[in-house]
C-alpha cells in the first residue's frame, strides 16, 4: 500500500523540468511541499530530492519528510491540499509551491 510523505522544502527554479507544468519563473526561489507516494511510511530523502529535481528545481533545501495524517484533509482549512494528496497517489507525486 502506498503512503504519501510530505517534504517541506525550498529551492531555486532552474526551468529544467522533465515535463511541462504551471511552474514558477526561472531563477526564482520558492518554498513548496512535495507530496511523494512511497511504498512504505519511511521517508526516502534521495527519492524526494530526485523528484524535486524532475520538477525543475536546484539548490534544494529538503525538509524532514513526514507522513500525512489523511484524516486532517477533512478539515475545511486543509481541504485545498486534498487534490495534491490524491495526485500523489495517482501520479506518484505532486508539488505545491508558494510565490
Per-residue pLDDT, 99: 83
Q: Are 73 and 85 in contact (CB under 8 A)?
A: yes
Residues of the chain by 3-state class (helix, strand, coil), percent to 5: 30, 35, 35
Task: Point out which residues pair with 34 in neighbouring strands.
Answer: 7, 95
Spatial neighbors of 14 by CB under 8 A, at least 6 apart, are 26, 27, 56, 57, 58
Per-residue pLDDT, 19: 85
Query: Rounded to two decimals, what is the model's pTM?
Result: 0.91
Per-residue pLDDT, 1: 79
Q: What is the 3-state secondary structure (H, E, C) of 39-58?
A: CCCCCCHHHHHHHHHHCCEE
pLDDT tens-place values along the chain, 99 residues long: 789 999 999 999 998 888 888 878 899 999 999 999 999 889 999 999 999 999 999 999 999 999 988 899 999 998 889 999 999 999 999 999 988
Which DSSP letter does residue 21 get?
A: -
Instruction: State the Cα–Cα distance between residues 41 and 26, nearest whole angstrom.
Output: 33
Amino acid at each position: 500500500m502506498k503512503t504519501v510523505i510530505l517534504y517541506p522544502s525550498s529551492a531555486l527554479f532552474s526551468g529544467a523540468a522533465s515535463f511541462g507544468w504551471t511552474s514558477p519563473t526561472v531563477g526564482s526561489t520558492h518554498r513548496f511541499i512535495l507530496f511523494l507516494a512511497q511504498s512504505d511510511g519511511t521517508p526516502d530523502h534521495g527519492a524526494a530530492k530526485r523528484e524535486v529535481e524532475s520538477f525543475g528545481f536546484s539548490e534544494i533545501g529538503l525538509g524532514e519528510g513526514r507522513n500525512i495524517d489523511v484524516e486532517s484533509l477533512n478539515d475545511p482549512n486543509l481541504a485545498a491540499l486534498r487534490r495534491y494528496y490524491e495526485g500523489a497517489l495517482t501520479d506518484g507525486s505532486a508539488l505545491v509551491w508558494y510565490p
